[in-house]
Amino acid sequence: MENLKIDIDADGIALITIDMPKRSMNVLNEGSIADYAEAVEKVIADETIKGAVVTSGKPSFIAGADLDWILSLAEADLPGEQRAINVYETVMKLQRIMRRTENGGKPFVAAVNGLALGGGLELCLACTRRIVADDPRIQLGLPEAKVGLLPGGGGTQRFARIMGPLKALPLLLEGRALSPAEALKLGIVDEIVPAADLVSRAKAWILSSKPEDWVKPWDQKGYKAPGDDPRTMEGSLAFSAANAMNRKKTFGNYPNLDAIQKAVYDGINVPLDTALRIESRYFATLMVSDVARNMVRTQFVNLQKANKLEGRPAEVAARKVTKLGVLGAGMMGAAIAHVAAKSGIPVIVIDRDQPSADKVLDHIRAASASDLAKGRTSQAAIDKLLALLTPTTDYSALSGAELVVEAVFEDSAIKADVTGKAEAVLGADAVFASNTSSIPISSLAEASSRPEQFVGIHFFSPVERMPLVEIIMGGKTGQAALALAMDFCRQIRKTPIVVNDGRFFYTSRVFATYTTEGCLMVQEGISPVLIENAGKMAGMPVAPLALCDEISLDLIYHINKQDAKDVGRGFPGSPAEALIERMIEKERRPGKKAGKGFYDYPADGHKRLWQGLADVATLRADQPEASALIERLLVIQALEAARCLEEGIVATPADADVGAYLGWGFAPWTGGPISYIDTIGAAKFVETCRTLEASCGPRFRPSESLVRMAESGERFYALRGAAEKAA
């Protein structure tokens, strides 16, 4: 068996050690499931074996199912019904194997030495007993809800039977991971022991146990699940309340959350074998649905590829940044220095004077204060972090740095000045990067004496929390600069996407269409309340006007004016720009940081829309349906993303979707703007664009490539096997 080994000791205890070759973590896929099934049957059939301990040969236990494998079944070039059947039969194979560890007549003890998520934890739940190493870093949970699925290896049914359906639902719906101590309190694990004693304790339990100890409660006659029965008045009310709360938060965009509740409700009062078939049917139906396939593809499969630096130049040797320079100690520069120092990189931070440079230390102290108060860090750890930072005005301190990131004011002249000063002291193979969010890299590289070593590294605010980094290739950027930028992202645990040069690049360009469309709606006389609700109902994390406030209206105003100046156009160039100009110049409402923008931010209460907006734009008598606004907000972003693909700004649909998901949280249920177009279909999407073009203007005109796709029936993401058939 390639993926595990079985060792039988003198006491007749089998040790099943799962250790998949050429993988950093174990997963459940076709091969590992087949091997596990063979091992389970061997233990059950061999009369000399008393029981089995199941553990891992890696630092983690099992990270979950291989979703790329499951996705390949769901995306096969077959009729949808056949795809669902294939997924159902595959999942049922796993369910039957897990039932064998419950009712095969011998004890199986999971000795969990590390992370066990999704199918990994479900495998443990089906074991007779679960013993976990005493390590608070271990995560145990069923996170499938986060990628549009439900647990498909018995998780919904065993969780509900272990702790009761109403306690289980929040964990299933949120996909939250638990520490061993939390899992013990809920009955998800049975025992916590020192890591060194894990296997020996599991073997000892098998030797001391009796056959009656091996029967799960739900396989005993007269079993009743703990907690309220959903068929009673109390249980029915609780389920109804849970459903209402779920709808309030998600607006029905995530069918998997409904399916989780249905699986628990339908399965809790029938025998487990029937319940597992119910769960598997729901899983298969979800897996072939657009929402689940898109979410799994973007948020799991393609995100993993990005984190593995799939697009990194293979011919360039890997490098580590051992000394980083950051130019500018403002909000972005200080935050970039912070994440680098947290990864153990010494950082030189340069600003125009020493008090300005020292602000990086204040930023880190302020950012660490909350964690210190909550016991998540110590003063010693903060002091160690601060010791890695050298704030100064002296550019010569940059000598020896492999990488310098410029994060000064968004002004080409200022950036050119600091570029020259830094390059004068840098080594021959050092790379200079700009954190610009809007100015073309090729333009900024004109100030460089070595443009092949000039690259864009665009961080997102707040840098400490936002996982995405946009690496921008200038016209002359070399492969060595690209490789180092990607290596640096991995070093600081960020996810990079690589984009080509162009004004506002990819994320800022597409993201701006969302806030701009919200402003245009205000100018059209649409109720701001309706606009904001439509943004939330579309699945965007923040409504468009609220997002403008968070970015800050004065920053948007500055960027709009700078863009007009740089490209030689008039200003304001649209009703949206005119609205922002009025909010700054006349109304003096610069955004959230000032306590007033499109919203008021009272110190003693929640934010509320500014009543004065009614004077800025008169409300129309005929207000549109929310569905029409939702469509506008999603379509304008998807259309701009498609244009970026057509223009070569972003190279692949996968990069476009991952960038949208991580960069500004584009409606996660869609899988990203490109997946959204595929879901609708190019023909229908182009038809919608043309309708919106007629009513809203030329910004909705479909691109040439979309029109061609509509005519040919082409997709951005081909079904697996379709390309081979076409060839």
pLDDT, average across residues 104-131: 98
Residue matched to tokens 């076409």: 726
- Strand stretches in 191-308, DSSP E: 191-193
Helix (H, G, I), strand (E, B) or coil at 231: coil
User: pLDDT value at position 726?
Assistant: 45
Question: In Å, how far from its chain's centre is CA 177?
Answer: 15
Q: How many CA atoms lie within 13 A of 720 on its CB side?
A: 14
Whole-number Å distance between alpha carbons of 599 and 611: 8
CA distance 55 to 47: 22
Q: In what order do the strands lie in the sheet with 468-473?
A: 389-392, 347-350, 324-327, 403-406, 431-434, 454-459, 468-473, 495-500
DSSP-H helix ranges across 10-75: 30-45, 67-74
Confidence of residue 237 (pLDDT cuts 50, 70, 90): confident
Cα–Cα distance measured from residue 668 to residue 246, given in angstroms and rounded to the nearest whole number: 16
pLDDT of 725:
47
Q: pLDDT at position 727, please?
A: 42
Q: What is the pLDDT of residues 169-227, one digit of tens each?
A: 999 999 999 999 999 999 999 999 999 999 999 999 999 999 999 999 999 998 988 88
**Is the pLDDT assigned to residue 722 strictly greater than 60?**
no
pLDDT tens, residue by residue, 284-313: 999 999 999 999 999 999 999 999 999 999
pTM of the model: 0.91
**Tens of pLDDT, residues 5-25:** 999 999 999 999 999 999 999
In whole angstroms, give the CA distance from residue 554 to residue 129. 60
Question: Are 444 and 429 spatial neighbours (Cβ–Cβ below 8 Å)?
Answer: no
Q: How far apart are CA 285 and CA 281, in angstroms?
A: 6
* DSSP-assigned letters across all residues of 504-528: TTTHHHHHHHHHHHHHHHHHTT--H
SS3 348: strand
Could you give the residue ranges of the DSSP H alpha helices within 331-425?
Answer: 331-342, 354-357, 359-373, 379-387, 412-423
* Rounded Cα–Cα distance for residues 430 and 35 (Å): 49
Residue 459 CB neighbours (<10 A): 23
Average pLDDT, the chain: 95
Phi, psi values for residue 654, rounded to 5°: -60, -45
Please report the pLDDT score of residue 232 as a whole number. Answer: 79
Cα-Cα-Cα-Cα dihedral sign, residues 416, 422, 424, 430: negative
Q: Is the pLDDT of residue 80 over 90?
A: no
Phi, psi dihedral angles at 351 (to 5 degrees): -140, 180
Indicate the pairing of strand 191-193 with strand 129-133. parallel
Cα–Cα distance measured from residue 453 to residue 485, given in angstroms and rounded to the nearest whole number: 10
pLDDT of residue 374: 85
Per-residue pLDDT, averaged over 393-416, amounts to: 96
698-710 pLDDT, tens per residue? 999 999 999 999 9
86-104 mean pLDDT: 96
- Indicate the helix (H) or strand (E) that contains 392: strand 389-392
- Enumerate the active-site residues: 458
CB 91 within 8 A of CB 284: yes
CB atoms closer than 10 angstroms to residue 153 = 30
**Residue in the block written with tokens 């110049």:** 585
Q: How far apart are CA 516 and CA 559, in angstroms?
A: 13
Whole-number Cα distances in Å, 248 to 245, 253, 257, 536: 5, 11, 12, 10
**What pLDDT score does 644 carry?**
97
Q: 250-289: per-residue pLDDT in tens?
A: 999 999 999 999 999 999 989 999 999 999 999 999 999 9
Is 417 in a helix, a strand, or coil? Answer: helix
**DSSP run (H or E) holding 182:** helix 180-186
Count of alpha carbons within 13 angstroms of residue 683, beta-carbon side = 4
Residue 534 has what DSSP assignment?
H
**The token pair that represents 44 in the structure block:** 């059950």
Helix (H, G, I), strand (E, B) or coil at 496: strand
- Give me 278's structure tokens: 């119910």
Q: Where are the beta strands (DSSP E) in 444-512?
A: 454-459, 468-473, 495-500
Is pLDDT of 719 > 80? no
Residue 61 phi, psi (nearest 5): -85, -85
Cβ neighbors of 673 (< 8 A, separation 6 or more) are 510, 634, 637, 638, 640, 641, 642, 656, 657, 660, 666
User: In angstroms, what CA-CA distances link 669 with 289, 546, 620?
Assistant: 11, 21, 31
Q: Which residues of 13-29 are buried (b: 16+ CB within 10 A; e: fewer)?
A: bbbbbbebeeeebbbbb
Give the span between the Cα atoms of 404 and 562, in whole angstroms: 25
Q: How confident is the model at residue 375 (pLDDT cuts 50, 70, 90)?
A: confident
Q: Over range 157-172, report the average pLDDT.
A: 94
Q: For residue range 452-461, what is the model confidence (pLDDT) as tens digits?
A: 999 999 999 8
**472 bridge partner residues:** 456, 499
60-78 average pLDDT score: 93
Whole-angstrom Cα distance, residue 345 to residue 323?
6
Q: Residue 721's pLDDT is what? A: 61
Characterize 120-130 residue by residue with b for buried, 16 or more Cβ atoms within 10 angstroms of its Cβ, and e for exposed.
Answer: bbbbbbbbbbb
pLDDT over 90, % of the chain: 89
Left (φ > 0), alpha (ψ -120 to 50) or beta: where does 344 sit?
left
